[in-house]
Homo-oligomer: A and B are copies of this chain.
């Protein structure tokens, strides 16, 4: 069965293809009687306009592009879920693109721009500042609306949706300190992410305000690797508090601490900065700063629709609230 085209509908309804097009795009411009007739044929034939042809003719593809580094991370898939839910609600199709470590950024962006998406959600949190400049520059040259989604970039005033990770980490660090804990570590990743950098800043500020030395331990996101790091770490360092940038890192630390005879939270209290499913599957369960990643995705997508439709935007840089979820590990 060949796909039915606008010509088939026009023929069967006894009108021109222009009228069929109007029925779909500007129904108020066509006589009610004609409209109903056309609508009936559309239904009968199960007609849906070819999205590619429509995209070429109208210069609107009703498709957005998502640019990310790695799909498999838990936070990314949460972001994705939020984005796709809202995209669907607004009838946008979603194309996904990855920019990996070894990719040529300029070329990758050219590929993406050639895809003619109406807007871009940028989720890649692993680029250095110069690369971000390049990316944003190319997107702006192509005049494509863009929203940064859980990514910090202090260049020009690019729309973004984030959480105040700095404040969140500052606050939770102060909690540790007020409990009298003296050796509170921030456990972060070896790879530098803009988001984790903000966590570092908040942590450092709280420690310094309390006259304590900030102590950062960087490890791998890979559990096999970081558990070995932690084993070594526990042998050599005094620690009574850990704030981990990722929940999986926190859980890995808890497991190793307990294997080494420490009690959690009595000897060492642990907090994760995400609140993913890992937190509930930990034993003891993991106290978290809940950073609502699904919401970041959903709000980003909603914000992007406004830019794509040239609607008024009251706030280009959205900061979503977080909350602390008390469980057993602190």
Contact = CB atoms under 8 A, between A and B. Distances in A.
Nearest to A223: B280
Contacts of A97: 93-94
A252 B280 CA distance: 9
Interface in A31-48: 46, 48
A17 interface: no
Majority-rule SS of A interface residues = helix
A56 B255 CA distance: 56
Interface string A67-80: 00011101011101
A61 interface: yes
Given A77-B71, A81-B72, A96-B84, A278 B280 contact: no
B3 A113 contact: yes
A56 B252 CA distance: 51
A297 to B, nearest CB: 10
A113 B48 contact: yes
A52 B56 contact: yes
B55 A52 contact: yes
A282 B85 CA distance: 31
A114 to B, nearest CB: 4
A237 interface: no
Contacts of A258: 283
Interface string A1-26: 10100000000000000000000000
B48 A251 contact: no
A27 interface: no
A143 to B, nearest CB: 8
A282 B281 contact: yes
10 contacts: A46-B110, A48-B111, A49-B114, A50-B114, A74-B77, A77-B77, A85-B98, A95-B95, A248-B281, A255-B281
